[in-house]
Structure formats: structure tokens, C-alpha cells
């Protein structure tokens, strides 16, 4: 199959359509608007529905309804809009409904700006909404990976009956790269639990997230935990880049990982033994891989476009065995490869921060 040149935001849309997503509910916000634009044009071609909601709150609740009705459904937004959607995300998790959300992260907090950032890591991986739940979080770092992980997100959502977030940023959303739309097929399982009217069923279907008796809620939450344990055991994804002989290990995801790869290449030209571990699943986080790397590495450097959020998970995984340093730009600023290399050189000489 030949390659086509696509913007990241459009690639989310096309991959979703190929994966059998027929419903999209959203509300405009920069820098993800090309995705709803694409869906508004594309979904009617496949007999689907694109609907612009009155707010992100309404959009995520439409997603809740469509997911409960048994459809593959997607919504997308950026930071401020994702904050509003967190109510619905908690309900999706509580009702165990499959849905896919895209967050094309921008600079924050507050209104911030529309420049690329990674400062929604905590929100995505640690909760964001209320209650004991986990969101599966996938972090593509190229347009091709946007395609591949979008298709995977729908499958994971259905398999685990859990919302899945694709966490990108303004660079990935706006960037154009060639992609292959490799045989993505709608891999949709039967959904006997969906609310679609009782016809043909001897039982009625009920989808709620309430367990009014605390004992029942605890029991339910423990079943959620068992599910999350299974996800943690089976679904961790990461990439090793030039890790074979690496003495210094960078950890970065998404756009930052592209910059970190550039820094690995430049540092290697200078003779530094540097490698990169790139988490692809941010939750479940590749903690075991990092713990393993900590047995051989001399030090770690986390590169993020935030004040330092993923670094907390890196430190938990490394567990004090080796030093973990942090290099960040924040507020929509993008790290520069040669600055990362300077930081690496400092660490190699024993002076990182």
C-alpha cells in the first residue's frame, strides 16, 4: 500500500473511521480542530454522525450515550476542554463503557496558549475525573503511530470496557508525515450489554455507575482493580532506542521523544553512550523496563514539555537506585535538541539537576 501525507489531527480521524468509529461528538478548540473538521466531512461518507455539541461536557455525555448504545465513538479536545470532559470520563470508567478520547495538549494552566505541551500528563494518567479509576493512555510520537495507536485504542477500549485516551500535543496534531493505512479493520466485538431496546432479548440492559451500598461499591472497585492489573500485565508498550550499550538513559514520550532521539543521535556523535526508553503506554507505565534499565544505567534524564510530571513515575520505577534528572521546557515552549545534549554532557560529567 502506498504512503499518503497526512496531518496528525487528520490521521486520528481516518484511523478511527477505518477502525469502525461512526460517531464523533466534539466542541471546537485549538490546536485539534482539523480532527473535527475531518470527521465532519468523513463520517457522513460512511453513514456515521458528526455532531458539534454545545460544550465539552455535552460532547462527552453524548459519547457516553453512544458508547452505551453499543457504538464505536470518539471525541477530541485540548487541555481546557479535556478538563470539562473529565466528569464524563469518570462516568465512562464507572459504567465500564468503551470510548476513545484524543487530547492534543496545549500550554497551560488556565487558558494558557495554543502551543504544544505535555502538561496534561497528571490529568491523563492519575485521574483527572473523580473516583478510583484508570484511563488507558497511549502516547504516539509520529503520524504513523497516531494511525496505529488510534486503531489499537478502539480495540483496547472494547477489550477492557474502559475509556482510552490518546495523548498528543500541538506538534503531533499539526505535523505532516507520510503514513500507511495498513490493514486497519473494524474489529468490533459483539456488545450484548448495549442499550438498544429489548427486542430479541429475554433480559433488559442497564448501564449505570452507581453502587449505593459501600460494600457493593468496594466489591465493584476491586473488580476494576483486577481489570487494571490485567491491563498492566498485558498492555505495556515502550520503545528502546539505542539502548543496547546505553549508560545514560533518556525517558521521553510523544513529541519530546522525537527531540530526545535527535539528542541521542547528536550525543552518540560525540561519543556519549546514550539511549532512550520511550513509553508508548503512559498508563500502564513501563515501570518494569525502567527498573531493569536502572540495573545497568548510570543515570536517567527525563525530557518533558511540562514542569516535570512523568518524571515522578520514572522516579517511582527507578526507586532511588540511580539518579533521575529532569530537563523541561514548559508553557508551550519546545526543547531544543542541542540544549538537551548540553544537559546530557553535564550529567555525564556528574553535574545534572
Partner 1 sequence: MLHEIIIAGFGGQGILSMGQLLTYAGMIENKEVAWLPSYGPEMRGGTANCAVTVSDIPISSPVVSEPTAVIIMNKPSLIKFEPMVKPDGFILVNSSLVDQKVKRPDIKVYEIPANEIAEEMGNSRVAGNIMLGALQELTGVVSIDSMEETLKKVLPPHKHNLIPVNRQALEKGAEFVRSK
Partner 2 sequence: MRKVFSKPASLSDKPFHYCPGCTHGIIHRLIAEVIDELNIKEEVIGIAPIGCAVFMYDYFDFDFLGGAHGRAPAVATGVKRVHPDKMVFTYQGDGDAAAIGTAEIVHAAARSEKITSLFINNAIYGMTGGQMAPTTLLGQESTTSPEGRSKEMAGYPIRLTEMLATLEGTVYAARVSVHDVKHIIQAKKVIKRAFEIQQKKVGFALVEVLSTCPTNWGLTPIEATKWLEQNMIPYYPLGEIKVPKEV
In the complex, which residues of this chain contact partner 1 (CB under 8 A)?
3, 5, 114-116, 170-171, 174-178, 255, 258-259, 261-262, 264-265, 332, 334, 336-338
Grid cell, residue 244, equals 543496547
- Using CB under 8 A, which of the segments 67-75, 178-186, 213-221, 331-339 binds partner 2? 67-75
Q: How many Cβ atoms are within 10 Å of 229's Cβ, its own excluded?
A: 11
Which of residues 32, 61, 125, 142 is near partner 2 by CB under 8 A?
Answer: 61
- Which of partner 1, partner 2, none binds 129 (CB below 5-8 Å, type-dependent)? none
**CB closer to partner 1 out of 20 and 108:** 108
Assign 39 to helix, strand or coil. helix
What's the Cα-to-Cα distance from 302 to each of 299, 311, 347, rounded to whole Å? 10, 6, 12
CB of 270 to partner 1, least distance (A): 15
CB of 142 to partner 1, least distance (A): 8
Q: 302: which DSSP letter? A: E
**CB closer to partner 2 out of 47 and 110:** 47
Grid cell, residue 239, equals 520503545
State the Cα angle at 311 between 269 and 127, rounded to 5°.
140
- Which of partner 2, partner 1, none binds 58 (CB below 5-8 Å, type-dependent)? partner 2
Contact flag: residue 84 with partner 2 (CB under 8 A): no
Contact flag: residue 88 with partner 2 (CB under 8 A): yes
CA 132 vs. chain centroid, Å, equals 19
Who contacts 56 (Cβ-Cβ below 8 Å, separation ≥6)? Answer: 26, 27, 29, 77, 81, 82, 84, 85
- Using CB under 8 A, which of the segments 28-36, 48-56, 271-279, 285-293 binds partner 2? 48-56
Q: How many Cβ atoms are within 10 Å of 272's Cβ, its own excluded?
A: 18
- Using CB under 8 A, which of the segments 45-53, 137-145, 153-161, 233-241 binds partner 2? 45-53
CB of 235 to partner 1, least distance (A): 25
**CB closer to partner 2 out of 48 and 335:** 48
Contact flag: residue 154 with partner 2 (CB under 8 A): no
Which of residues 87, 132, 265, 339 is near partner 2 by CB under 8 A?
Answer: 87
- Of 303, 344, 298, 301, the closest CA to residue 321 belongs to 298
What's the Cα-to-Cα distance from 237 to each of 197, 244, 286, 321, rounded to whole Å? 38, 18, 7, 23
Q: 286: which DSSP letter? A: -
- Using CB under 8 A, which of the segments 83-91, 103-111, 167-175, 264-272 binds partner 2? 83-91
Q: Which of residues 12-31 bind partner 2 (CB under 8 A)?
A: 23, 25
Which of residues 45, 47, 204, 215 is near partner 2 by CB under 8 A?
Answer: 204
Which of residues 21, 73, 264, 280 is near partner 2 by CB under 8 A?
Answer: 73
Which of residues 40, 58, 321, 333 is near partner 2 by CB under 8 A?
Answer: 58
Instruction: Dump the DSSP string for 97-160.
Output: --EEEEEEEBS-STT--SSB--TTHHHHHH-SSSSS---EEE---SHHHHHHHHHHHHHHHHHH
Contacts with partner 2 by CB under 8 A: the residue count is 40
Which of residues 40, 49, 236, 337 is near partner 2 by CB under 8 A?
Answer: 49
User: Crossing angle, helix 34-42 and helix 8-18, to 10 degrees?
Assistant: 40
Grid cell, residue 330, equals 514548559
Contact flag: residue 57 with partner 2 (CB under 8 A): yes
Q: Which residues bind partner 2 (CB under 8 A)?
A: 23, 25, 49, 51, 53-55, 57-59, 61-71, 73, 87-88, 91, 95, 195-200, 204-210, 212
Amino acid at each position: 500500500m502506498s504512503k499518503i501525507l497526512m496531518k496528525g489531527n487528520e490521521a486520528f480521524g481516518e484511523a478511527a473511521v477505518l477502525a469502525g468509529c461512526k460517531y464523533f461528538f466534539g466542541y471546537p478548540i485549538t490546536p485539534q480542530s482539523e480532527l473535527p473538521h475531518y470527521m465532519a466531512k468523513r463520517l457522513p461518507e460512511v453513514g456515521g454522525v458528526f455532531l458539534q455539541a454545545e460544550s465539552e461536557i455535552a460532547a462527552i455525555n453524548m459519547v457516553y450515550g453512544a458508547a452505551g448504545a453499543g457504538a464505536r465513538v470518539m471525541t477530541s479536545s485540548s487541555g481546557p476542554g479535556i478538563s470539562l470532559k473529565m466528569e464524563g470520563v469518570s462516568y465512562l470508567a464507572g459504567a465500564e463503557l468503551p470510548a476513545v478520547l484524543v487530547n492534543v495538549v496545549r500550554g497551560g494552566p488556565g487558558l494558557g496558549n495554543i502551543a504544544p505541551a505535555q502538561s496534561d500528563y497528571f490529568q491523563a494518567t492519575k485521574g483527572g475525573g473523580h473516583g478510583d479509576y484508570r484511563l488507558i493512555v497511549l502516547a504516539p510520537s509520529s503520524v504513523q503511530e497516531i494511525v496505529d495507536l488510534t486503531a489499537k485504542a478502539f480495540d483496547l477500549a472494547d477489550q477492557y470496557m474502559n475509556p482510552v485516551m490518546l495523548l498528543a500535543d500541538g506538534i503531533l496534531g499539526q505535523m505532516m508525515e507520510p503514513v500507511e493505512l495498513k490493514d486497519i479493520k473494524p474489529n468490533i466485538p459483539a456488545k450484548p450489554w448495549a442499550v438498544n431496546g429489548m427486542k430479541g432479548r429475554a433480559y433488559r440492559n442497564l448501564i449505570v455507575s452507581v453502587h449505593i451500598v459501600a460494600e457493593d461499591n468496594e466489591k465493584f472497585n476491586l473488580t476494576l482493580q483486577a481489570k487494571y492489573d490485567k491491563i498492566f500485565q498485558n498492555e505495556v508498550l515502550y520503545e528502546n532506542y539505542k539502548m543496547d550499550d546505553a549508560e545514560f538513559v533518556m525517558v521521553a514520550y510523544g513529541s519530546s521523544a522525537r527531540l530526545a532521539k535527535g539528542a541521542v543521535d547528536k550525543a552518540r556523535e560525540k561519543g556519549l553512550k546514550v539511549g532512550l526508553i520511550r513509553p508508548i503506554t503512559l498508563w500502564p507505565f513501563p515501570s518494569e523496563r525502567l527498573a531493569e534499565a536502572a540495573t545497568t544505567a548510570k543515570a536517567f534524564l527525563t525530557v518533558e514539555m511540562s514542569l516535570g510530571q512523568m518524571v515522578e513515575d520514572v522516579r517511582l520505577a527507578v526507586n532511588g537506585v540511580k539518579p533521575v534528572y529532569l530537563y523541561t521546557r514548559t508553557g508551550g515552549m519546545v526543547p531544543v535538541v542541542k540544549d538537551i545534549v548540553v544537559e546530557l554532557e553535564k550529567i555525564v560529567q556528574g553535574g545534572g539537576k
